[in-house]
Amino acid sequence: MGRLDDKVALITGGARGQGAAEAELFVADGATVVIADVLDDEGRATADRIGDACRYEHLDVTDEAGWGALVADIVEAHGRLDVLVNNAGIFRVQPLGETSLDDWNRMLAINQTGVFLGMRAVAPPMTAARSGSIINISSVAGLNGVGMAFTYSATKWAVRGMTKSAAQDLSRSGVRVNSVHPGYIDTDMLRELDPDRGNLERGVPLGRLATAAEVGEVVLFLASDESGYCTGHEFVVDGGLTA
Ligand code: NAD
């Protein structure tokens, strides 16, 4: 028996990195998974690699109408939508003084508004089913200040706050909402921060970066009924970085 048997999940930013690792773990534990992204070729290749229980759909998470159409399509095709992982995100090294209003608005649109639109889109079917799990991917940058990535940190704190408010709002409907806070995870995103990874590794108490799958295991737990009494909280996967 898989921990996600019969569950249907939507994972944004699933073409690569952590989202792709989560999709693979979810399918291995019995779920049907839709991965959504703007990287269409990579997304299709990832879904093909994972197998029949995974399919790719184009979704820019800033597109309100796109969210409505995709959620309606999944519910029509599968009769349910049990799990949303709001994982899509962008990162830039950019301190406060170097941040233009356009830079700020662009990152908020993806990292923050995208999470709002996603939660709002899945709430009706989950509320109707009186069951669901929403997992919002924040960061250790949503637990601490990050001087060299001002806007990124602002969006990840926002995700943490939105998670708690949505959890309170939706708890009586049986829908759980939690945030996950990765530290340094070995994906494409990290290359901008430290191309050779060495400096980052030295700063981590466990002495290494995490694999995407190590975050995925925590996300899987939150998606499963094993976490049925967890809502509104932060789950930190950072090798001790913020301990
Ligand atoms: P990644 O860059 O490999 O993956 C991010 C994915 O999001 C990409 O596939 C990208 O195409 C997609 N995406 C970007 N903009 C999008 C949009 N508008 N609509 C749909 N998809 C879009 O990086 P990752 O490490 O897998 O990041 C996953 C999440 O984890 C992000 O939210 C990131 O902020 C967070 N995170 C990453 C780290 C890390 O060290 N890598 C640490 C903390 C938090």
152 a catalytic residue? yes
Best probe residue, ligand 1, of 10, 12, 18, 211 (max atoms within 8 Å of C-beta): 18
pLDDT in the model for residue 123:
98
Q: Is the CB of 113 under 6 A from ligand 1?
A: no
188 Cα: distance to centroid of ligand 1 (angstroms): 8
Q: What is the mean pLDDT of each run of 10 residues along the chain (243 residues)?
A: 97 98 98 98 98 98 98 98 99 97 98 99 98 99 97 98 98 98 96 80 95 98 98 98 97
Cα gap 82→33, rounded to integer Å: 10
Q: Is the CB of 70 under 6 A from ligand 1?
A: no
Cα gap 16→177, rounded to integer Å: 23
Q: Is the CB of 55 under 6 A from ligand 1?
A: no
| CA-proximal residue: ligand 1, atom 18 (nearest) | 60
Output the pTM of the full model. Answer: 0.98
| CA-proximal residue: ligand 1, atom 29 (nearest) | 87
pLDDT in the model for residue 174:
98
Of 56, 152, 184, 229, the active-site residue reads 152
Give the ligand 1 atom nearest the CA of 109: 18
pLDDT in the model for residue 106:
98
pLDDT in the model for residue 199:
85
Cα gap 214→238, rounded to integer Å: 10
Q: Is the CB of 89 under 6 A from ligand 1?
A: yes
| CA-proximal residue: ligand 1, atom 44 (nearest) | 139
Best probe residue, ligand 1, of 90, 151, 199, 242 (max atoms within 8 Å of C-beta): 90
Q: Is the CB of 160 under 6 A from ligand 1?
A: no
162 Cα: distance to centroid of ligand 1 (angstroms): 18
